[in-house]
Amino acid sequence: MSTLLEVLVTCDSNNTLWNSCVWDPHTGTSLMTYKGGGTSESRTLSFIGKDYLAAVEKTKPVLHIWPLNSHQTVQGMRFILPGKASALAISTDGHYIIAGIDEKIYIWQTASGNLLTIINRHYQKITMLKFTPDGKYFVSAAEDGMVMVWSLSTVASHPEVNLVTQSSAGQHDPIYIFSDHSLPVTDLCISKTGMHGRLFTISSDRTCKIYDLASGEMLLNLVLDVPLSSITLDVLELNVFIGTTEGNIHQISLTNPPRSRDQLVNTETDSLTFSSHTKAVNCLSVSLDGETLMSASNDEQVILWHIPSRQAVRTIRHKGPVTNAFFTVNYPAIYTQDFSPSIILHSLERTLEKDADDITEIEVLINKKINFWPEPEKIVTINEPVKQVNPIQNSSDRKLQAEIKNLKTINANLYKVSIQKALESLPVIKKSNKKKKK
């Protein structure tokens, strides 16, 4: 199964069999299950680098982390959060963890567990947190209808790190504040180009808004006739798929934008519809080849659609409403027995209050080779097999050696002759006749 290019990861609200599961999207078979994490909060399942899988428990302030090759959570460590989290995001490299607890955003460093800062700019509970693909920025959305874009380096660094307190934290300004939605934001999607691309947000106010992250302007406002619950883009980002609370999925083309910024979308005539779910669509994801659309719903079904024909190819039934589901690349660590992670985990701090005299030194060990100095040439040992020499190549080498020897002899003779000629050209010094005069 390690030859698969991509797999499907899902969670449901019924955790009797497992908390999350990895599926083969081509056959619908289960490849790996992760247990012991309770019920995962909606849209909080994510990977920590290529080594771990993490999810927030829905009823407790606990972050559960599994090694990719183990059914059980990480042993000997508990990741307790300051409160029950409603949103979670982890940077692409796995070095930073951000969680939305009520209306605050907490940011931790994974290797040290240090709580870097607490952002308090939203007015109601945070519903979504997502990193850009490069991991340098993240977007937060809340029930107050506001969407904010943050720079990770700006909010995580502080001019006086040791003097950060609970009262002085969170005094950061976002790059953009979008307050165009009138009801809670239910989902968002970011282009693969990050801050050079676009941001798509949907809300319960039945609108989908598209922003240009380079300039911060709204490009398009799509108004539908039903409340919206999930959104995703295709591989080329030419079409947007929007899931509704009624169970339908609408495909809207972005290649022919309207002349006006606001567009009323008639779901019966202006869009292609995927209809099979009977309840709200919670998650949408498109495969790497761009041919398959995955939809997960409260009707306990995960359906794989063939996008060109809009036909359901496969249905994976669950025991409860599906809370997390997405396509991802197939990580080799899922199938390895010997686990050697490249990411270090540490218990998460719960407050920013620190004692200035208590400074902890952290030794970070990485399993990565840095080619700083050039490697020495490999010395051939006796045990290594001797390479067979081509006879034609051997004869040419002998000719070259003989020619080099002849040139050395000629060079030595020329040197001797030149020295002898130089000595003969010197004038002869005659002896003085002082002794005869005396």
In a domain, 42, yes or no: yes
Is 375 among the domain residues?
no
Q: pTM for the full model? A: 0.78
User: Looking at the domain assignment, is residue 244 inside a domain?
Assistant: yes
Confidence of residue 169 (pLDDT cuts 50, 70, 90): low
Does the pLDDT of residue 39 top 50, yes or no?
A: yes
Boundaries of domain holding 291: 6-335
Query: Does any domain span residue 18?
Result: yes
- pLDDT (0 to 100) of residue 423: 84
- Residue 428 pLDDT exceeds 70: no
Lowest-pLDDT range of 3-17, 40-54, 179-193, 367-381: 367-381
Pick the range with the lowest mean pLDDT from 375-379, 402-406, 418-422: 375-379
Predicted confidence band at 435 (pLDDT cuts at 50, 70, 90)? very low
pLDDT digits (tens, 9 = 90+) for 79-125: 999 999 999 999 999 999 999 999 999 999 998 888 999 999 999 99
Asked if residue 114 is part of any domain, the answer here is yes
Decide if 422 is inside a domain.
no
* pLDDT exceeds 50 at position 15: yes
In a domain, 381, yes or no: no
* Count of domains for the chain: 1
Question: Given pLDDT bands bounded at 50, 70 and 90, which one contains residue 160?
Answer: very low
- Side chain identity at residue 13, one-letter code: S
Least confident of 79-88, 168-177, 307-316, 363-372: 363-372
Say whether pLDDT at 357 is over 50: no
Domain CATH number, residue 80 = 2.130.10.10
For the ranges 221-230, 344-353, 367-376, the maximum mean pLDDT occurs at: 221-230
Closest CA to 300 of 284, 273, 323: 323
| 161, part of any domain | yes
Residue 276, pLDDT > 80, answer yes
